[in-house]
C-alpha cells in the first residue's frame, strides 16, 4: 500500500525549484533548508549507510533472534501464537530425557550464518535502494522510480542473501545439519544448483519488495509532513507538532517506527511471501515449488494460513527495523556532520 501523494516542489514549467523552501520552525529556532519532497530522508553517504546498516542488522540479530525463530516455527507448522511457543520450548528448553536445559534457548541463535544474513540484508536495504532511486526518479517520477528501484534492490537482496536465508531457516528448524548436509538434502529435491541454493527465493523477493516499498513510501511521506507544517492530514497535525519539539534524531526514530508498523501490518504479500519462503526452505521435499506451496497453504488453512507467524514477525520486524535503521540514521548523521555533508 502506497502513501498519498506528496506536495509538489516543481516550479512553473515542470522544473524542480532551484532553491528549496525553508522549514517553518517554532520561534527561537533557526530555519533550515528543506530537502526536496521527492527525496528519501537519508543522507546520500552510501558507504556510511551500508556500514551502519550492517551494524544495525547485527544488533537486530543479537537482540531479537528468538522472535525470528518463533516466526519460523509458526510458519513451518502453520500454527498460532501459543502452539508455536510450545513447539519452541519443547525443541530447545527440554532434552530428550525431558529435563529442563535453560541454556538450550541459545540454540535459537543458530546457525551463525543468520548473523551474516541480517548484516548484509540491512547493509543493502537503504543505500542500494537510495542509489537506484536517485537514478530513476527524474525520468520515471517519484512513485514509479521508487517502485522499480526497490524491485531491483529486492532482487539484489535475494541474489546475495537468498542462500544465507535458506541455510538459516533449514538448519535452525531441522537442527541436525551441517552446511554441506543442508545443501545436499535440498539439492536432492531440486533440479539444479541454483534452485537448491536459492530455494524459496521467490517468496523471499515478494516479502522483501512488499515491505521495502511500503516502508520507503511512508517514511518519505511522514518526513515531508513533519518538515512542512499543514501538508499532512489535519488529524495528525498535533502529532507532528509534538515531533517538531523533539531532537531531529528522536523524531526520525519515531517516524521509522511508525513507517515500519504500517509496512508490516498493511502488506499482506509481506506475510504471504514469508510463509511460502519458510515452508520451502524448511522442508524442500514436502514443498517442491512455489505454486504447490501456495495451493497447499490455501487449501489447508485458507487465507489465514498466509498470515501465520504474523504476530512474531510483526514484533520482530517493527522492533528490528527500528533498531537497524535507527542506528543507521544516527551513525550516518554523525558521519555526515563530520564530513560537512
Q: Cell numbers for 60, please give them.
A: 537486530
Residue 15 maps to a domain: no
Residue 14 maps to a domain: no
Confidence (pLDDT) at 9:
42
- Which range of residues forms the domain containing residue 295? 42-93+101-338
Residue 7 maps to a domain: no
Residue 33 maps to a domain: no
How many domains are there within the chain? 1
Mark the ranges of the chain whose per-residue pLDDT is less than 70.
Answer: 1-33, 341
b/e map 296-326, b = 16+ CB within 10 Å: bbeeeeeeebbbbbbbbbbebbbbbbbbbbb
Q: What are phi and psi of 245, to 5 degrees?
A: -85, -10
Q: How far apart are the first and last CA of the chain?
A: 33
Residue 28 maps to a domain: no
CATH number of 179's domain: 1.50.40.10
Polymer length in residues for the chain: 341
Residue 68 maps to a domain: yes
Confidence (pLDDT) at 33:
63
Residue 86 maps to a domain: yes
Per DSSP, the three-state class of 10 is strand
pTM here is 0.88
pLDDT tens for 159-214 read: 999 999 999 999 999 988 899 999 999 999 999 999 999 999 999 999 999 999 99
Confidence (pLDDT) at 175:
84
Residue 21 maps to a domain: no
Amino acid at each position: 500500500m502506497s502513501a498519498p501523494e506528496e506536495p509538489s516542489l516543481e516550479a512553473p514549467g515542470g522544473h524542480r525549484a532551484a532553491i528549496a523552501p525553508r522549514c517553518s520552525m517554532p520561534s527561537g529556532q533557526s530555519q533550515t533548508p528543506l530537502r526536496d519532497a521527492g527525496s528519501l530522508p537519508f543522507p546520500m553517504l552510501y558507504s556510511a549507510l551500508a556500514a551502519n546498516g550492517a551494524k544495525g542488522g547485527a544488533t537486530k540479530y543479537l537482540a531479537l533472534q528468538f522472535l525470528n525463530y518463533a516466526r519460523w516455527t509458526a510458519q513451518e507448522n502453520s500454527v498460532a501464537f501459543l502452539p508455536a511457543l510450545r513447539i519452541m520450548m519443547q525443541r530447545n528448553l527440554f532434552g530428550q530425557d525431558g529435563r529442563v536445559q535453560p541454556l538450550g534457548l541459545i540454540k535459537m541463535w543458530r546457525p551463525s550464518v543468520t548473523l551474516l544474513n541480517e548484516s548484509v540484508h540491512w547493509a543493502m536495504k537503504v543505500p542500494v535502494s537510495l542509489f537506484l532511486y536517485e537514478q530513476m526518479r527524474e525520468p520515471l517520477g517519484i512513485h514509479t522510480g521508487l517502485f522499480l528501484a526497490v524491485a531491483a534492490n529486492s532482487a539484489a537482496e535475494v541474489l546475495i542473501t537468498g542462500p544465507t536465508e535458506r541455510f538459516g531457516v533449514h538448519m535452525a528448524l531441522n537442527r541436525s545439519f551441517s552446511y554441506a548436509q543442508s545443501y545436499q538434502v535440498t539439492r536432492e529435491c531440486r533440479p539444479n544448483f541454483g534452485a537448491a541454493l536459492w530455494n524459496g527465493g521467490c517468496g523471499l523477493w515478494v516479502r522483501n519488495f512488499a515491505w521495502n516499498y511500503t516502508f520507503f513510501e511512508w517514511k518519505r511521506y511522514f518526513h515531508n509532513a513533519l518538515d512542512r507544517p499543514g501538508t499532512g492530514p489535519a488529524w495528525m497535525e498535533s502529532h507532528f507538532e509534538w515531533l517538531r519539539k523533539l531532537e531531529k534524531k528522536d523524531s526520525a526514530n519515531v517516524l521509522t517506527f511508525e513507517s515500519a508498523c504500517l509496512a508490516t501490518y498493511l502488506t499482506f504479500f509481506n506475510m504471504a511471501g514469508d510463509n511460502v519462503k519458510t515452508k520451502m526452505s524448511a522442508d524442500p521435499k514436502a514443498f517442491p515449488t512455489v505454486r504447490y506451496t501456495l495451493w497447499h497453504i490455501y487449501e489447508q488453512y485458507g487465507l489465514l494460513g498466509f498470515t501465520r507467524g504474523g504476530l512474531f514477525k510483526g514484533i520482530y520486524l517493527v522492533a528490528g527495523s527500528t533498531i537497524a535503521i535507527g542506528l543507521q540514521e544516527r551513525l550516518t548523521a554523525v558521519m555526515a556532520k563530520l564530513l560537512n555533508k
